[in-house]
């Protein structure tokens, strides 16, 4: 009898513990393949005065890691829309579509309306949790839009992109879907770029008066958003962002550029000033953790991908460093007993780390030719440790870069195949996890399995 009481006492304590709020924070480094992580790790370590290779990024020591298969249902090498849908809605789908199953073809409005699949953010909102979307890309760009929109084409970011025929059929642009989210009270924290997608075409941008909004329906979605709920706050530069108190209780929208936010490497030169990804993550967690029922937060390092597309490893590594800083903030501000933090990528890029540079060689530097194997009769010219399989860095004949400073921020690494834009790559990406349900993150998994791992953590005490 005494024993039974003891068990009951223990189980009631367990009940109390498991009734704690459960939160999930998903960090997506857009295009942050494993080679990018390794190169960024060396870069950050070297910035801090070590040889670099032994450095640990904030998520390198997470207790669990899996390899993730990223293909789309119709693509061996995926895009960001199909991959974020897999992660957030639990089903692999076609490239280029958001929040709809593969049963609907790209651009097919009518079919898309019949095949919407809910995202974890929407499910969290419906069950009384709070939610947030943070990105350095346009908030209507594929990865953040995957949290709250359902479109058969990721390019439908504003009203001009949706034909009147599709509009009559019931399809809505991505910015409008963010405003009109029917799930809970919609995302509570929205921080990123892309304000032109929300502004009418006759309205001048506050930071660049020569630029105008993009909407052809005459609507000012920022003002509409402010009026749709109580105590909402909109900010667009670092001064107004810094003025948001940590105790602010209303919903927050911050749109810091007409299009994407600056690369981290260029952020300090921005006219209106922009917060860092870490600062945005911090205020998002402060705001969302006010809900005792917990929250889902998506944080995207959206421009790692863009720098790679430009063949510019420097900016990709600095943006990866910014994501690393943001993850460190999340780890410091959350309790692992009630929070799952996942750090992953949607897809990889063609970045390679090659040659035989010695330990501590600058990661943006060149490989010592004497360390390279030699083809008979072929002179080995200097080459950079970092290179791309394709992209704008292609040059013929192969250039002699002996006197080129490859650590210059604007240097484009040499690419093997000439393309105007470097492409994504199709090998697996890594997913690191810490906290609630982190031990489910192991093995080689389909990208859509990330959804269930996060759902199990988010609703751990609801028995589903």
Q: Residue numbers of the site for Zn ion (CB under 5 A)? A: 305
Could you tell me the smallest distance in angstroms from the CB atom of residue 80 to Zn ion? Answer: 6
Could you tell me the smallest distance in angstroms from the CB atom of residue 30 to Zn ion? Answer: 7
Could you tell me the smallest distance in angstroms from the CB atom of residue 264 to Zn ion? Answer: 17
Closer by beta carbon to Zn ion, 129 or else 141: 141
Closer by beta carbon to Zn ion, 287 or else 306: 306
SS3 342: strand
Q: Sign of the CA dihedral 34, 39, 43, 49?
A: positive
As a whole number of angstroms, the distance between CA 83 and CA 78 comes to 7
Closer by beta carbon to Zn ion, 92 or else 129: 92
Closer by beta carbon to Zn ion, 240 or else 352: 352
Q: What is the dihedral of CA 171, 174, 179, 185, to 10 degrees?
A: 90
What single string gives the DSSP state of each residue in 398-460?
Answer: PP--TT--TTSTTPPPPEEEE-SS--EE-S-EEEEEEETTGGG--EEEETTHHHHHHHHHHTG
Could you tell me the smallest distance in angstroms from the CB atom of residue 257 to Zn ion? Answer: 18
As a whole number of angstroms, the distance between CA 189 and CA 191 comes to 6
Could you tell me the smallest distance in angstroms from the CB atom of residue 419 to Zn ion? Answer: 13
What single string gives the DSSP state of each residue in 73-128?
Answer: TTBSS--HHHHHHHHHHS----TT-BSB-TTSPTT-HHHHHHSB---HHHHHHHTT
- Name the β-bridge partners of 367: 383
Closer by beta carbon to Zn ion, 305 or else 449: 305
Could you tell me the smallest distance in angstroms from the CB atom of residue 280 to Zn ion? Answer: 21
Contact 385, 352 (CB under 8 A): no
Closer by beta carbon to Zn ion, 143 or else 384: 143
Phi, psi angles (nearest 5°) of residue 402: -50, -40
Contact 339, 436 (CB under 8 A): yes
- Name the β-bridge partners of 343: 27, 432
Q: Which residues are catalytic?
A: 80
Give the nearest residue (CB) to Zn ion: 305
**Angle, CA of 134, 180 and 143, to the nearest 5°:** 30
Nearest CA to 410 out of 318, 290, 297, 302 is that of: 318
Q: How far is CA 380 from the centre of its chain?
A: 39
Closer by beta carbon to Zn ion, 264 or else 305: 305
Could you tell me the smallest distance in angstroms from the CB atom of residue 26 to Zn ion? Answer: 18
């Amino acid at each position: 009898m005494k024993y039974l009481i003891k068990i009951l006492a223990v189980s009631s304590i367990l009940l109390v513990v498991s009734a704690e709020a459960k939160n999930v924070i998903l960090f997506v480094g857009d295009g942050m393949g494993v080679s990018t992580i390794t190169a960024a790790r060396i870069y950050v370590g070297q910035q801090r005065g070590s040889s670099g290779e032994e450095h640990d990024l904030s998520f390198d020591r997470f207790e669990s890691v899996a390899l993730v298969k990223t293909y789309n249902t119709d693509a061996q090498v995926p895009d960001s829309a199909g991959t974020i849908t897999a992660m957030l809605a639990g089903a692999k789908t076609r490239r280029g579509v958001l929040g709809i199953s593969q049963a609907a073809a790209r651009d097919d409005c009518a079919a898309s309306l019949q095949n919407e699949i809910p995202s974890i953010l929407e499910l969290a909102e419906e069950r009384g949790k709070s939610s947030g979307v943070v990105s350095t890309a346009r908030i209507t760009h594929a990865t953040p839009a995957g949290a709250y929109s359902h479109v058969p084409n990721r390019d439908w970011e504003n009203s001009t992109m949706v034909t009147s025929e599709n509009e009559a059929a019931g399809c809505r642009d991505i910015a409008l879907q963010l405003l009109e989210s029917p799930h809970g009270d919609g995302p509570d924290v929205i921080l990123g770029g892309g304000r032109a997608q929300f502004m009418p075409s006759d309205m001048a941008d506050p930071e660049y008066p020569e630029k105008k909004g993009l909407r052809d329906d005459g609507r000012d979605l920022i003002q509409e958003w402010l009026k749709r709920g109580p105590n909402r706050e909109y900010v667009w530069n670092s001064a107004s962002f810094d003025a948001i108190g940590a105790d602010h209780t209303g919903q927050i929208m911050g749109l810091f550029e007409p299009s994407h936010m600056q690369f981290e490497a260029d952020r300090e030169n921005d006219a209106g000033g922009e917060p860092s990804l870490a600062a945005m993550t911090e205020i998002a967690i402060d705001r969302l953790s006010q809900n005792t029922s917990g929250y889902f937060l998506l944080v995207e390092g959206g421009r790692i991908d863009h720098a790679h597309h430009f063949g510019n490893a420097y900016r990709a590594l600095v943006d990866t460093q910014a994501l690393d800083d943001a993850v460190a903030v999340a780890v410091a501000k959350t309790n692992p007993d009630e929070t799952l933090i996942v750090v992953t990528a949607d897809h990889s890029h063609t970045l390679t780390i090659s040659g035989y540079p010695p330990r501590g060689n600058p990661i943006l530097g060149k490989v010592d030719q004497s360390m390279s194997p030699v083809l008979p009769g072929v002179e080995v010219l200097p080459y950079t440790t970092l290179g791309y399989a394709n992209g704008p860095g292609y040059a013929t004949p192969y250039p002699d870069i002996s006197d080129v400073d490859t650590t210059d921020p604007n240097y484009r690494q040499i690419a093997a195949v000439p393309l105007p834009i470097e492409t994504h790559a199709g090998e697996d990406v890594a997913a690191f996890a810490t906290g609630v349900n982190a031990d489910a993150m192991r093995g080689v998994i389909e990208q859509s399995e990330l959804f269930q791992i996060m759902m199990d953590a988010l609703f751990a005490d609801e028995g589903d």
